[in-house]
Structure 1
C-alpha cells in the first residue's frame, strides 16, 4: 500500500527518521532559547510601555522599533545576513546546528510581541491592587503578569512553536537539514513528488501534535484557575 502511493519515499525510511529528528531538534532547541529571550523582551516592553511599572519612553521606543524591524525581515534573507554571526557561534553555516542561530534571531522578536500582547490582557485592576498591597515590581511580574496571563502566554507560545516548525523548512532549503532539506533534495529536485508529500505529511503531524499539546495545556491551566 505504502509502496504503491509513495514509491520513492518508502525507500528512504532511515532518511525520514533522521530528518524528523533533526526538525524536532531545531524546533526544541530554538524554542527554548528564543522562549527565554522573547519572554524577557516581552516583559521589558510591558514594563517600559505607557503606564507600565517602569515606564520609559526612550527604552520602549527603541525596543519596539527593534522588534518591528526583526519581524519584518524575511527569514530567507535573514539566513544570509547573519551568516558571519552563525559561523562565529557554531563554527559553520551548514547543518542542523547552524540553523539554530537564525531561527532564534527570527523567533525572538516575533515571540516578544506575542508575549507583550498576551500580558496586555491582564486586568489592570489586578495590577493596581497588587501595587496597593505593597507587592514589589518583581513580585508583580511573577505573581500577577505571568500568573494571570498564563493562558494567553501558552497560546502565544503554541502559535510561535507552529511558526517555528515552518521556519525550519526554509532553513532546510539552504542546507539546514531536517524535513525541509529532505523534501527539496530528495523530492523536489529529483521530481519525486511522493517524497515531498511525505515530508509535508510528517510536518503536518508535528504541527497537529504541537497544537494538541498547547490545547491540553490551556484547558488544564484554565481549570486550575477556576478552582
Structure 2
C-alpha cells in the first residue's frame, strides 16, 4: 500500500492553501524540502479547464516539492507569445532549484510543453504520447485537434529549436497511433542531434492515443530513474568533456 505523505486536505483545500500567483499566473506550489531539492512540475493536459491534474495524488503521495500548472486556453502552454510568458513564470518558480533536480511532467499537449520546458531550462521530462512537431502531427490528428493546432497564434516545433548541448533526460511512453509514431521518430531524431541528452523510451503496443502511466507509485519510480540516469550520465560525461 502506498504511504501518504499528507492526507489531511481535499482538492479545493489544497488549492486554497497552496495556490500562489506568479507574474499573473495561478499555480499550486507545495514545498516540502529544505533546502530545495527535487521539484516536480505537473502540467495539466488538453481541455483541463483550469483543473490542476493529479493534484491530490501529488499532495498525498509525492515526497518532493510540487508545482502544478494549467493551460485553459489549450495552447500547448504557448499562449499568444510562443511560450515566452510561461517560461518567465517557470523561471521564477524554479529559482533555488538545480536544473538537474527539476522534472516536468505532461501527456499529449502537456507532453509537448514538458519537453519544451525541460530543454529550455536544461531540466528533465516525463511524458506520455507527447507531440513535438505540429507539422508531423497534423496529418494524423483528428479534426478537433487540428482545430486546436490552428488556433495557436504563435507556435514552434521543438525539434526546430537550436539546442546543441543539454544534460536533460527525457522519458517518453509512446504508443502506436500514427501521430504518436511520427512524434516518436521525431523525438529519436532530435535526441540524436543534441549532445548530452539522455532518453528513456517505452514503446507501448497500443494503437490508440491514450495515457499509459499507472498510478503515482510507478510515476515516482520514473522520477527516481530520471534523476539516477542524469547523475550517472553526468559522471561519465565529465570524463570525456573537451576542455574549453
Please report the TM-score for the alignment, with normalisation by the length of structure 1: 0.27
Structure with greater helix share of residues: 1
Larger Rg: 1
**Which has the higher relative contact order, 1 or 2, with Cα contacts under 8 A spaced 6 or more apart?**
1
Structure with greater strand share of residues: 2
